[in-house]
Structure 1
Amino acid sequence: MTAKAPTQSSPESNPAKQLENGSVVQNDPTNVSFVHHDPDNHVTTFQYFPDKPTSTMTRFNFADKESSKFYDPCHESAQMSVRCMTDHPDDHKTVCAEFFAAYRDCKKAWIDAKKRGEY
């Protein structure tokens, strides 16, 4: 009887990672799309942040949280901004400007959805 060697999962075999907040991080860049199309294949919107603040899963997580808990649907964008600031402490305002803009856009999309009554 021979023992099998344990197999390790590679990024190719598991291209997506589920986070605690319910969002999914794509490890395969070919599965990431920042452009949304309508049924006629016309570009409708651009999204320059990885979070999905208006998704059904985000709505569920927001409704399911305890009243005393804070839930940030733009957590990934916030972490990317913080990481950029720690990596570039001398000139983070110019180097990280696009990360800051992505976080602001994500928060704006979430706040607009809340104003429309989707939460």
Structure 2
Amino acid sequence: MSSKTNETAPVNENKGDSLPPPEAGLKPLNYREQFSGRHVTSQFIDPCSEASKASMDCLNRNDYDRDACLDYFQAYRDCKKAWIQQRKDDRRAGRSTK
């Protein structure tokens, strides 16, 4: 057996598209912009959706080999953690989180 390394972005052999690097999804989008114009907060609004999509694309392109996509999963977790922390800090400062 050979071990897989994730030194370069995986390439889809059928389309020739490459995945963005995992580091691209580390910073969440501004969640206030995501919520603006909506009077109901939805569970489906996710400022880290790009990181989520990249991790799912990685799984699809690597035949669901989880070990090949660990960097993408970590990038999504880091993005989500930063987003939640940003919302907590805003609540503590008295700013609206919606």
Query: Which bracket does the TM-score occupy, shorter chain normalised?
Result: 0.5 to 0.7
| Residue in structure 2 matching 1:49, options 24, 27, 30 | 24
Residue equivalent to 1:73: 47
Residue equivalent to 1:61: 34
CA contact (8 A) 2:62 2:68 kept: yes
SS at match of 1:53: coil
CA RMSD between the two structures: 2.4
Q: Deviations over 1:76-107 (max 9, x none)?
A: 0000000011111252x210000000000000
Runs (4+) of structure 1 exceeding 4 A deviation are none
| Partners of 1:63 and 1:89 in 2: CA distance | 38
Which protein is richer in strand relative to its size?
1
Residue equivalent to 1:115: 88
Change (3 A) 1:110 1:68: closer
Residue equivalent to 2:13: none
Q: Deviations over 1:10-38 (max 9, x none)?
A: xxxxxxxxxxxxxxxxxxxxxxxxxxxxx
Residue equivalent to 1:101: 74
Q: TM-score, normalised on structure 2? A: 0.59
| Partners of 2:83 and 2:37 in 1: CA distance | 17
Which protein is richer in helix relative to its size?
2
Residue equivalent to 2:56: 82
Identical positions, percent: 36
Q: TM-score, normalised on structure 1? A: 0.49
Which sections of structure 2, spanning at least 5 residues, go unmatched?
1-21
Count of matched residue pairs: 70
